[in-house]
Amino acid sequence: MSTIGFIGLGQMGSPMAANLIKGGHSLRVFDISAEAVADLVSKGAVAAKTPAEAALDVEFVVTMLPNGGLVRNVIFGEDGVATTLSKEAMLIDMSTIHPFETDALIKEMAEQGFQMMEAPVGRTSVHAIKGELLIMAGGSKEQIERAQPLFDCMGSETVDCGGPGKGGRVKIINNYMSIALNALSAEAITLAEAIGLDFDTAMKVMSGTPAGNGHFTTTWPGKVLAGDLSPAFMVDLAHKDLGIALDLANQVNVPMPCGAASRELYSITRAAGRGRQDWTSVLEQLRVTSGLEPKIK
Ligand code: NAD
């Protein structure tokens, strides 16, 4: 069992810390909220007055804070973790922050002889309470192996994302997609209601198509990911259908910012001569437009 300094006891950090205590670890906790600290003390943690005190004589420090500026301040600020952390200990930042900030922090920590990895989490506070988070580990194999007993208390699945900084990168891509899909879904369902559709019927139809199931496991594997852009459904037809939906939305006064932006990607794909290719060629087109090496000749 390990000694752990835990900093940031909010919606996520508080249940994560509680699960580490349940797993038999000894915790020294710090948060700017005295109430949050008192709650963890009632569960068996020891209170620290500063980040430095939380990091004193521990094997791990876990940070779970709202943003990168706070993580930096808790590490390198006055009474920060770096003033007391042992060179044998490891700092694990589990916050969701800008991956380039993570890169800079790992580099600066290493320059001072400290060990740091990142391990942001997927899912929500409901899963944090149950110890069922998805842990996106960014670090060396040795670092991940060392942190695994902690991850096992807080999560039900750990994914080795492929090296330092990669956990934070995957996390942001994952959130980008699920957050943007939330907005796109809201647009579609609002339009459905505005044109008089029954909500449950619309949901039922879309749950049986890529609209509800996404493209990763439906349209992409047999087409663009297999290098086959022969049309199952043509870019030209997708472009036409998006145009009809946008026109309809315009007539019933529903703004469609995601749909309008998506239509332009199909316009770019069509303008590049891919109109008669499969609609999944938007992926290849965007890759090429972004300066990445073409995958499909
Ligand atoms: P939160 O706002 O509930 O908690 C943040 C905690 O940090 C608070 O208790 C706050 O008092 C504390 N804090 C702020 N500044 C501090 C400082 N200088 N020193 C010590 N403590 C300080 O946020 P949360 O929902 O727990 O999220 C924490 C991180 O987890 C964020 O990076 C978030 O993006 C990420 N995350 C959240 C969820 C979610 O569903 N809520 C899911 C996955 C990841």
Q: How far apart are CA 65 and CA 49, in angstroms?
A: 17
Confidence grade of residue 159 (pLDDT, cut at 50, 70, 90): very high
Range name among 14-18, 206-210, 243-247, 286-290 with the lowest pLDDT average: 206-210
Confidence grade of residue 297 (pLDDT, cut at 50, 70, 90): confident
Mean pLDDT of the chain: 97
Region 209-228 average pLDDT: 95
Whether residue 284 has its Cβ less than 6 Å from ligand 1? no
Q: Give me the pLDDT at residue 257, please.
A: 98
Rounded to the nearest angstrom, the distance between the alpha carbon of 160 and the centre of ligand 1 is 23
* Residues 83-129 pLDDT 10s: 999 999 999 999 999 999 999 999 999 999 999 999 999 999 999 99
The ligand 1 atom nearest the CA atom of 14:
26
Handedness of CA 14, 167, 70, 75 (dihedral sign): positive
Check whether 229 has a pLDDT greater than 90.
yes
Close Cβ partners of 127 (under 8 Å, ≥ 6 residues apart): 133, 134, 156
Query: Rounded to whole angstroms, what are the CA distances from 217 to 213, 265, 287?
Result: 8, 21, 19
Percentage of the residues of the chain whose pLDDT score is greater than 90: 98
Residues of the chain with CATH 3.40.50.720: 3-164
Region 178-190 average pLDDT: 96
- Residue 190 CB-density burial (10 A; 0-12 exposed, 13-18 middle, 19+ buried): middle
Whether residue 11 has its Cβ less than 6 Å from ligand 1? yes
Q: How far apart are CA 164 and CA 180, in angstroms?
A: 26
To test the pocket of ligand 1, the residue of 29, 40, 65 to mutate (highest count of ligand atoms within 8 Å of its CB) is 65
Q: What would the CATH number be for the domain defined by 3-164?
A: 3.40.50.720
* Residues 237-280 pLDDT 10s: 999 999 999 999 999 999 999 999 999 999 999 999 999 999 99
* Residues 31-51 pLDDT 10s: 999 999 999 999 999 999 999
**Tokens 């000694």 — which residue?**
3
The residue contributing the CA closest to ligand 1 atom 5 is 10
Rounded to the nearest angstrom, the distance between the alpha carbon of 135 and the centre of ligand 1 is 16
Whether residue 31 has its Cβ less than 6 Å from ligand 1? yes
Residues of the chain with CATH 1.10.1040.10: 185-289
Q: Give me the pLDDT at residue 259, please.
A: 97
Please check whether residue 147 is in contact with residue 115, taking contact to mean a CB–CB distance below 8 angstroms.
no
Q: Say whether 204 is catalytic.
A: no
Confidence grade of residue 179 (pLDDT, cut at 50, 70, 90): very high
Whether residue 33 has its Cβ less than 6 Å from ligand 1? yes
- Give the global pTM: 0.93
Whether residue 17 has its Cβ less than 6 Å from ligand 1? no
Please check whether residue 32 is in contact with residue 9, taking contact to mean a CB–CB distance below 8 angstroms.
no
Q: How far apart are CA 181 and CA 191, in angstroms?
A: 15
Q: What would the CATH number be for the domain defined by 185-289?
A: 1.10.1040.10
* Residues 52-89 pLDDT 10s: 999 999 999 999 999 999 999 999 999 999 999 999 99
Q: Give me the pLDDT at residue 114, please.
A: 98
Check whether 191 has a pLDDT greater than 90.
yes
Q: Which of 43, 166, 171, 240 is catalytic?
A: 171
Q: How far apart are the first and last CA of the chain?
A: 55
**Tokens 């663009």 — which residue?**
224
Whether residue 8 has its Cβ less than 6 Å from ligand 1? yes
3-state secondary structure 132-145: CEEEEEECCHHHHH
Structure tokens belonging to residue 74:
């808790």
Q: Give me the pLDDT at residue 251, please.
A: 98
